[in-house]
Amino acid sequence: MVDFREYWQGKVAGALNMMMKETGQTVEAAQVVVETPPKPELGDLGFPMFGYARLLRKAPAQIAQALAEVLMKERDLRGTVSAEGPYLNVKFDRKSAAGEILAALFDGEKSFGRPKTLAGSRIMVEFSSPNTNKPLHLGHLRNDVLGESISRILAACGAEVYKVCIINNRGIHICKSMLAYQERGEGRTPQSEGIKSDRFVGDYYVEFSRILAGEEAEKKAGTWPQGRAGAEERARELLIKWEAGDPDTVALWKLMNGWTFRGMQETYKRTGISFDRYYYESDTYLLGKDEVLKGLERGLFYRQEDGAVAVDLGDEGLDTKILLRKDGTSIYITQDIGLAINRNRDWPFDRLVYVVGSEQQYHFKVLFSILKKLGFEWTKNLYHLSYGMVNLPEGRMKSREGTVVDADDLIDSLKDMALLEIREKEREEAVGEPAEVAEKIAMGALHYFLLQVSPNRDMLFNPRESLSFTGNTGPYLQYMGARISALLRKAASGDQDAGDSSLLTGDAEWELLKVLAAYPESVAAAAAGMDPSFLTAYLYDLSKSFSRFYHDCPILNAEDRDLSRARLVLSRAVLQVLQDALRLVCIPFLEAM
């Protein structure tokens, strides 16, 4: 809360140090435990004294009482203190605190909610990492919004953030889509079929599975020509041709990758996702081999009997890992080794955050251990932001069976449901362009739902539940912003710029002010924990607090104009924080809905 928490930690630490003088022990302000009392009437902050009982040889309740007596003798104390059993409780002076909070919030430099906890640091964030054989799907949507949101939060804490994306545009899975198109595409294009270009390519990935199923049926029926290569083998032949630079194969690869990438970029733009740089696996898959060979020369790795190069990670509680096959070719982790080193050369970072699913936890433990062995100083700051699976009520999604829910299809469905809600409530004129508003409501519903739980948890996405305009949802937050905007439009402009904050002493006003003051702390906590759910929880608390304030405290019709002005200023403060926090969690703001 602004600096109240630090202020009182300092005061309590000073009083404790006076009491502990004979023990030769001291306590730093940051070490003093501070809590929020369970009931507002007990105070605004609570300091438990259990941890000092043994040192001072007194009961916690006695320590709390002694501290209260010492502190109350101080002049110009920013509040009052009282002993409540083993707790020293603090009540702020509401009149002065309200002014401090609003002054900090309306600071001309707009620094409120911008803690400097990461000032001077350079953080690279890798996220999305799509394959170019299919469009983005629901799982990508969670990855994308998590990566984008955490990037914005880190930047809000003062870090210089560089967002990167690895495009997995080579390999056998790409060749499967290519083979299916080569054999069954008949010259069709996304334009000729009227299909979004990444979806068009994804359909041929599904078609490859149908080719396999047809071949299996022929084999069972005994009609499969003897000696004919199967689809899997034909796809591998395509990969070999691509690696050899066969012109026709490379041309087909470029054509289909271009279709997929253009479609993905449309989805990124639609969902508000952006990157500072793309890396392409076709450019990076050979990276790392030289680094592994250097490690072999230094004795960090060893060569097995069959000629493969491996590393023994037993000391780190991990298994032996092959780094180069016996034929000298790289594997996936070899590329990741080279890519990490190359990225640090491209943009020297203090920290690199990988936003990748929890099924890759072991992979990143191995990767980080290998890079540490190679002696790179920045290895200690590598971080795997692991996230759980996201499924629909219908069950788990499977790409090759065609049961994956495309990102665009899901957003379109949410948009249609939101548009129906707008029309049923006859709000079309009030909201402006209904389709545009429905799109923003859909994005708000989706992003809030995906971010409201800790990243490491699996989740079940329920589209209809996410669109509710009441309860813990994105549309509820958007509605609250629209509600405040409507309130401020009704008020005279002059009444929003001045107000006597000392009048804001009522319980509902004070609770709302305290929630506002906690915003910078919530941003810092979200960055420290790499977890946007700290902010989604904050947004819900802020909206609930404003709703109580709006219900309990007349604003435009307050008993006198000065109080009305003060409450309008408080409402404008809520709107400012709400807008800023919504942006950090990638939820569009709406002035009307």
Cα(539)–Cα(455) distance, integer angstroms:
17
Mean pLDDT confidence for 348-353:
97
What's the confidence (pLDDT) of residue 128?
97
Mean pLDDT confidence for 13-30:
91
3-state SS, residue 219: helix
Mean pLDDT confidence for 83-94:
95
CB-based contact 97:44 (threshold 8 Å):
no
Percent composition of the chain: helix, strand, coil (DSSP 3-state, to 5): 60, 10, 30
What's the confidence (pLDDT) of residue 402?
46
Question: Which residue do the tokens 């078609």 mark?
Answer: 207
CA 558 remoteness from chain centre:
40
As a whole number, the mean pLDDT across the chain is 93
Give the start-end residues of each E strand in 141-264.
Answer: 160-167
Q: 420-449 in b/e burial notation, b at 16+ Cβ within 10 A?
A: ebbeeeeeeeebeebeebbbbbbbbbbbbb
Contacts of 413 (CB under 8 A, 6+ apart): 463
3-state SS, residue 46: strand
Architecture per CATH, 4-92: 2-Layer Sandwich (3.30)
pLDDT digits (tens, 9 = 90+) for 389-402: 988 776 544 444 44
Task: Give yes or no for residue 496 having a pLDDT over 80.
Answer: no
CB atoms within 10 A of CB 107: 11
Cα(425)–Cα(280) distance, integer angstroms:
47
What's the confidence (pLDDT) of residue 176?
97
Cα(24)–Cα(159) distance, integer angstroms:
40
Cα(514)–Cα(436) distance, integer angstroms:
35
CA 53 remoteness from chain centre:
41
CB-based contact 540:472 (threshold 8 Å):
yes
What's the confidence (pLDDT) of residue 393?
77
- The helix or strand, by DSSP H or E, that contains position 391, with its residue range, turns out to be strand 390-391
Question: Which residue do the tokens 């709390």 mark?
Answer: 64
What's the confidence (pLDDT) of residue 464?
87
Cα angle 475, 477, 479 (rounded to 5 degrees) comes to 65
105-109, 306-310, 378-382, 516-520: least confidently modelled range: 105-109
Mean pLDDT confidence for 223-242:
94
Write down the H helix ranges in 272-310: 281-284, 289-297
310-319, 401-410, 542-551: least confidently modelled range: 401-410
Mean pLDDT confidence for 221-250:
94
CATH 1.10.730.10 domain residues, the chain: 407-584
Q: Give the total residue count for the chain.
A: 593
Highest mean pLDDT among 18-22, 329-333, 368-372, 460-464: 368-372
CATH 3.30.1360.70 domain residues, the chain: 4-92
What's the confidence (pLDDT) of residue 398?
47
What's the confidence (pLDDT) of residue 391?
82
CB-based contact 58:51 (threshold 8 Å):
no
Strands lying side by side in the sheet with 277-280:
277-280, 160-167, 122-126, 351-357, 382-387
Cα(338)–Cα(294) distance, integer angstroms:
12
What's the confidence (pLDDT) of residue 399?
42
DSSP tally for the chain: helices H, then strands E: 23, 13
Cα(469)–Cα(441) distance, integer angstroms:
10
What's the confidence (pLDDT) of residue 497?
65
Cα(395)–Cα(438) distance, integer angstroms:
27
DSSP for 232-245 reads HHHHHHHHHHHHTT
What's the confidence (pLDDT) of residue 535?
98
DSSP for 84-103 reads ETTEEEEE--HHHHHHHHHH
CB atoms within 10 A of CB 491: 17
pLDDT-above-70 percentage for the chain: 96
Mean pLDDT confidence for 479-490:
94
CB atoms within 10 A of CB 526: 28
175-189, 267-281, 399-413: least confidently modelled range: 399-413
Residue 427 is given by DSSP the state -
CB-based contact 235:179 (threshold 8 Å):
yes
Task: Give yes or no for residue 593 having a pLDDT over 90.
Answer: no
Task: Give yes or no for residue 495 having a pLDDT over 70.
Answer: no
Can you say whether residue 41 is alpha, beta or left, with left for phi > 0 and alpha for psi between -120 and 50 degrees?
Answer: alpha
- Return the CATH number of 407-584, one of 1.10.10.60, 3.40.50.2300, 3.30.465.10, 1.10.730.10: 1.10.730.10
Task: Give yes or no for residue 385 having a pLDDT over 60.
Answer: yes
The amino acid occupying position 583 is R
Query: What confidence tier does 127 reach under pLDDT thresholds 50, 70, 90?
Result: very high
Cα(456)–Cα(385) distance, integer angstroms:
8
The amino acid occupying position 325 is R
Task: Give yes or no for residue 468 having a pLDDT over 80.
Answer: yes
